[in-house]
Homo-oligomer: A and B are copies of this chain.
């Protein structure tokens, strides 16, 4: 039996490793178009902030390890250009241009996502940050060009993490986006806290600014906007990602929401011998019960793992994602799970939201800091739908209590009753998540 995996990152290598553990005799081939497999993409901004640590430190396991220790046929520099479900083959080429053909019994598409750069003249001058190779390039430019000014197009997770990393290197950062608001999915008050924090950290923000083109300027670029020109020793494009689903589409597989590859709870595509996992595939949202495309690392690892479990029998049905995410921007952490007010409205709920500000610890404790919580519930059913938090202390893990409640389809009233940990160095008597739920409960 031949198991072929297209893509050697989180989902692909999780699937290959677990398949090896489960099936010692399985013939496993992983085809990766780049040179790197199994690295911590999410750690790249932190590595960029640290000139003394090579980017290659983020490699979790090397290709050699997979090949020699796990007996996986891992072929890097192999780009797959077509899937032929009728012949159960994939075809493509090596970096040298030689054609390649691989036959499979079971196939996993784990092609991930690609950065979507705005379609502007000179967009090739924008450096994305998705693959390890992108990270190496950005680090090289910083080192060689003595970068003083960076311009980041976009203001999402990656943009904000890069903004902190570059500032730590003494680089002044300007962020630009055409939209009118920072993190528009967050309640305005919480987004404003983050915006104020960025400005305190000397970040220049240009919202509502349309970029016309990117021109060369010495070793750097000039970002030509409608109202100004921005000099950039380094120009980063962090304007979002899209699922890498072209191969699947051309093979006649069904695409779903956001053009991600549609999968069932067993990670099977519309072809029963072809699985998809990771950032190229969709997932069921545990709150709406509907497909969503939320490319995040935990899901990619979990889905890859589940593919191996389900290769020959349906044994690991994934329940879905709550969209739990956290990121750090300077001293603030920002976390979310479940639905925002507008997402809930669009999903057909009758949402009610409420914001509270509490303390992260008992007020006498050193380190006690404000924590801002927005919580969303459904007026009709009383169900808890989601939460968004920011603060400088005790944010990241607090969101998980709500995430678990969403998986359990808990009501706001039931969440209010949960017995959360209290000790003065760690929390007020009523954890901020409980205070948020109590106040939301009054509005429901």
Contacts and interface: CB of A to CB of B under 8 A. Distances in A.
A214 interface: no
A47 to B, nearest CB: 7
A333 B426 CA distance: 9
A72 B298 CA distance: 53
A167 interface: no
Nearest to A338: B419
A425 interface: yes
Interface in A307-366: 318-328, 333, 335, 337, 362, 364-365
Contacts of A327: 423
A365 B47 CA distance: 9
Given A46-B425, A422-B296, A422-B326, A362 B40 contact: yes
Interface of A: 10, 40, 42-43, 46-47, 53, 57-58, 286, 296-299, 301-302, 318-328, 333, 335, 337, 362, 364-365, 394, 396-405, 407-408, 410, 414-415, 417-427, 429-431, 433
Interface centre among A58, A298, A405, A421, by most B CB within 10 Å?
A421
A403 B418 contact: yes
Nearest to A306: B417
A429 B297 contact: yes
B394 A419 contact: no
Nearest to A157: B423
A421 B408 contact: no
Contacts of A321: 419
A364 B420 contact: no
Given A322-B418, A333-B426, 12 more contacts: A325-B422, A328-B425, A335-B421, A337-B419, A396-B397, A396-B421, A396-B423, A396-B426, A396-B427, A404-B418, A407-B419, A408-B408
